[in-house]
Amino acid sequence: MEKSTGLKKIKTVVFISGAGSNLKNLIKFSKKKKSPISINLIISNTNKAKGLKYANQFKIKKKIFNFKKKNTTEENIFLYLKKEKISFICLAGFMKVLSKNFIKKFDGKIINIHPSLLPKYKGLNTHERAIINKDKFSGCTVHYVNTKLDSGKIIMQKKVRILPKDTSLSLAKKILKKEHKLYPASIMKIFG
């Protein structure tokens, strides 16, 4: 990935499906002078994603793509991103799995945040699994997206201690706070 020159920010899209706290945090980060990226587009697979409100709040373009016909949808997304000159993709709570074909088109240009210390707990229900297994630590990972789920090269991780009183909800909250530090830090690491 080319380094940012500081003159022009890298046009970025954030894919969401839910609350969008990472999206909000990335938008705030992108507005800082030091940020190598600008957030120019928000994509969701559902109009129910609460995070879409940040598109209005921060006056960022949003697009909803229904994933019922995945291949056609991804082709449309690809064409749209090309048209908008977007060259970097951040997944933030995006609940659809992108196809190999799409990922290959953006090789090394898609990153994701995952709420576990990968390679542990790929997929869903990470906090429940960490608690059931009586792990002492969990955390979050920012990684490149490759064609295998939650398996791409790790960019950065942050650890969180799991206390005996923790529930999956309290753990999720603690980890989300760390995610908000880790995602911008990882982007700085990539383009720094």
In the complex with ligand GRF, which residue's Cβ is closer, 10 or 92?
92
How would you classify the pairing of strands 88-91 and 110-114?
A: parallel
Q: Is 184 in the site for ligand GRF (CB under 6 A)?
A: no
Q: Is 22 in the site for ligand GRF (CB under 6 A)?
A: yes
Map the footprint of ligand GRF across residues 135-174, applying CB under 6 A: 140
Contact characters 61-100, ligand GRF, x per CB under 6 A: -------------------------------xx-------
Cα–Cα distances (Å) from 15 to 29, 33, 97, 132, in that order, read 16, 23, 11, 30
Rg of the chain (C-alpha set) = 16
Q: Is 19 in the site for ligand GRF (CB under 6 A)?
A: yes
Q: Which residues are identified as catalytic?
A: 114
- Structure-block tokens of residue 174: 């603690």
Distance CA 171, CA 104 (A): 34
User: Beta partners for 158?
Assistant: 140
Q: What angle do CA 88, 90, 91 make, to 5 degrees?
A: 145
In the complex with ligand GRF, which residue's Cβ is closer, 4 or 111?
111
Given candidates 115, 139, 152, 184, which one binds ligand GRF under the rule CB under 6 A?
A: 115
Dihedral sign from CA coordinates of 96, 31, 175, 172: negative
* Closest residue to ligand GRF, based on beta-carbon distance: 93
In the complex with ligand GRF, which residue's Cβ is closer, 51 or 152?
51
Alpha helices in the chain (DSSP H): 21-30, 53-57, 70-83, 100-105, 126-132, 168-191
The residue assigned the tokens 């507005």 is 31
Q: Is 179 in the site for ligand GRF (CB under 6 A)?
A: yes
Least distance CB 21 / ligand GRF (angstroms): 3
The region of 29-37, 112-120, 143-151, 152-160 touching ligand GRF under the rule CB under 6 A is 112-120
Given candidates 4, 21, 35, 45, which one binds ligand GRF under the rule CB under 6 A?
A: 21
The residue assigned the tokens 């995006």 is 94
Binding site for ligand GRF (CB under 6 A): 16, 18-23, 51, 92-93, 113-115, 140, 176, 179
